[in-house]
Amino acid sequence: MSDPHVHVEIGLGRAGAEVRNVLASTFGLVADLPATVETGCGQRVPRARTSPHPRSVTCLACREFASRRHRALAEQLASMSGMPGLAIGAEDAARVVAWHRDLADRFDDAG
């Protein structure tokens, strides 16, 4: 029986389709994305069975993984945002921190 769930790719917050699209539009050439990916619940599934959007993810373990990962990214950026030499300003960093926290909350919301 096939897995009916929609999962979260384990590379959440790293290079994914969005980064690939930026590279493609900048340089014109980018390698193809892999057909299957590892997920937050430890499975390997077709990329088409994954989503970064909380409303689409139906795998509970992946939702929990995504929530933890977004919270960790928010905390990491929040702790770095006061450091001199950061490539983005404090206001932009605060917006990104809030965005990751909001996503974490939405992944926590099972409904």
Pick the closest to residue 38 from 73, 11, 13 (CA basis).
Answer: 11
Mean of pLDDT over the chain: 85
Q: Flag whether pLDDT at 104 surpasses 80.
A: yes
Give the closest residue to 96 by CA, choosing from 69, 67, 74: 74
Look at residue 14 in the predicted model and tell me its pLDDT: 56
What average pLDDT score do residues 29-55 get? 89
